[in-house]
Amino acid sequence: MIFETFVTETKSIWVQYLAYVSTMQANGNLDSNGGSVLYPNILLVTNCSGFYVAELVGVTKIFNGLTVKRHKEKSIYRYLSQFDDSEPDPLVHMDGSNHGFRFLCLAQKADFKALEKRFPTIELYGSKLNRTGGKGSVFSFGENFESCLIENSILVNRLGHLYRCKNILAAYIFKSTVTKPKLVEFFKKGLEEKEVKGVHTIQGKPEEQLIVAGQLQSMYLLPGLHETTIGEFLKLHPEIIKSAFKTEHFEYEPYLQWLEHDGTCEDVAINPDLLVRRPDGYYDIYDLKTAALAKKNVTKGGRKRRRFIDYVEEGVAQLVNYEEYFTYPKNAKHAKEKYGIEVKEPKLVLVVGSWENSSPEEVKQAQRRYHNIEIIDYDTFCHLFIGAS
């Protein structure tokens, strides 16, 4: 099956099914055992060079369809392990069809106490399988593998002293040679059961916040995932921005034309990731990069020459360009008329890196030559959301 056909068929199946579940809930025909039912809002579909993965992502009270985001990955093992594509010594080996894993924490040599600080979502899982001596992806696939499902589970991955956790609401893995009849049969068999699939059932607001945070971590810790996909997740979950940055309002990717400049600007417009309103009514400017997983450090040089790597410097330069836009009266007037935005002495914030490659002390040293630049890594950003919630 070609990848685009897989995307189309999978989306059609899940939109139809989740719309049906939503109708059943609205009619009072859904028993959630006292919990609250929340729906996904993103279908992340990945071509993993010989494997296709369809993963339901997101948390929303009302089902309004699925936004499809495509991703390309060179290896199913890098997708699952979040580190590399090396051949694993797995916890589970699959070599058939219709394998299934539900309500489990699956780990390789995990120290769960060490994990909880960075990945608090792990406390939601009581059932844990932890292999000692293994390495790489918790799953491996044989020549005869055809299909499997992973639902309401978390995969704990380790490389040396580094950990990453992949929070999964529902993920479905197929060999790329799957035919349409087999794909339809696979989902028909699972979705005709009385137990509802593909939704969250949560007990209270704190659990909901942990699930949202866990899914955000899974997004920015997925190697090679585009900034736009992370941005789409944040757009569909505005409570993350509002809570983490303590604001009641923000504009996501406003499009603002250059109406005035010094004559050297060749751009037609600026399109910042976020403009975040402060308590005084003015807006600060935010730019979202990625967790820069391939970078060992977001800074370089010794203490007295500490500076950011080029990837971060590009983000800083972009922020300064956005700030300059608002220094011209015609541009400022345009922003106010179009979005109600006013900018005065803005804080410039770049979200980049993670706890793995961002030393707070080194970042602080690299910031010395900037008067209004703030660098926040994604793990800190995520914990700001959890703490505020």
pLDDT in tens, 332-364: 999 999 999 999 999 999 999 999 999 999 999
Per the CB < 8 A criterion, the answer to whether 268 and 290 are in contact is no
Name the amino acid, one letter, at 384.
Answer: L
3-state helix, strand, coil in the chain (%, to 5): 35, 25, 40
- Confidence check: pLDDT of 39 > 80: yes
Q: Of 226, 251, 266, which closes a domain?
A: 226
Cα 249 to Cα 96: distance, rounded to the nearest angstrom:
50
CA 182 to chain centre: 30
Assigned domain for 231 exists: no
Does residue 220 sit in the same domain as residue 266? no
pLDDT band at 372 (very low <50, low <70, confident <90, very high): confident
Cα 22 to Cα 38: distance, rounded to the nearest angstrom:
10
pLDDT band at 101 (very low <50, low <70, confident <90, very high): very high
- Confidence check: pLDDT of 34 > 90: no
Please state, for a pLDDT cut of 70, what percent of the chain lies above it.
100
Q: What pLDDT sits at residue 246?
A: 96
Please state, for a pLDDT cut of 90, what percent of the chain lies above it.
86
Q: Of 163, 191, 226, which closes a domain?
A: 226
- Confidence check: pLDDT of 245 > 80: yes
Q: What pLDDT sits at residue 24?
A: 93
Q: Of 195, 226, 257, which closes a domain?
A: 226
Per the CB < 8 A criterion, the answer to whether 223 and 293 are in contact is yes
Does residue 57 sit in the same domain as residue 149? yes
Q: Which domain holds residue 181?
A: 3-226
Cα 190 to Cα 196: distance, rounded to the nearest angstrom:
9
- Confidence check: pLDDT of 385 > 70: yes
Cα 177 to Cα 52: distance, rounded to the nearest angstrom:
9
Measured in residues, the chain has a length of 389
**CB-side neighbour CA atoms (13 Å) of 50:** 11
Cα 173 to Cα 57: distance, rounded to the nearest angstrom:
15
The β-bridge relationship of strands 42-47 and 67-72 is: parallel
In degrees and rounded to multiples of 5, residue 160 shows phi and psi of 65, -125
- Taking all residues of the chain, what is their mean pLDDT, rounded to a whole number? 94
Q: What pLDDT sits at residue 186?
A: 96
Per the CB < 8 A criterion, the answer to whether 109 and 59 are in contact is no
Q: 203: which residues sit within 8 A by CB, 6+ positions away?
A: 34, 35, 36
Does residue 201 sit in the same domain as residue 292? no
Q: What pLDDT sits at residue 371?
A: 83
Ramachandran bin of 139, using left for φ above 0, alpha for ψ from -120 to 50, beta for the remaining angles: beta
How far, CA to CA in Å, does 143 sit from each of 93, 147, 175, 257? 11, 12, 10, 54
Ramachandran bin of 155, using left for φ above 0, alpha for ψ from -120 to 50, beta for the remaining angles: beta
Does residue 218 sit in the same domain as residue 276? no
CA-based end-to-end distance of the chain: 44
CATH number of 343's domain: 3.40.1350
How far, CA to CA in Å, does 243 sit from each of 116, 249, 336, 383, 386? 21, 11, 24, 10, 8
Per the CB < 8 A criterion, the answer to whether 106 and 155 are in contact is yes
Q: What pLDDT sits at residue 99?
A: 95
More confident residue, 32 or 148: 148
Does residue 269 sit in the same domain as residue 205? no
Tell me what the mean pLDDT of segment 208-236 comes to.
Answer: 93
pLDDT, tens digit, 9 for 90 and up, residues 276-330: 999 999 999 999 999 999 999 999 999 999 999 999 999 999 999 999 999 999 9
Closest by CA position to 39, among listed 218, 199, 209: 199
Q: What pLDDT sits at residue 315?
A: 96
The DSSP element (H or E) to which 165 belongs, if any, is: strand 162-175
pLDDT band at 389 (very low <50, low <70, confident <90, very high): low
Cα 177 to Cα 5: distance, rounded to the nearest angstrom:
12
pLDDT, tens digit, 9 for 90 and up, residues 175-199: 999 999 999 999 999 998 889 999 9
Assigned domain for 293 exists: yes
Q: How many domains does the chain have?
A: 2
Q: What pLDDT sits at residue 133?
A: 87
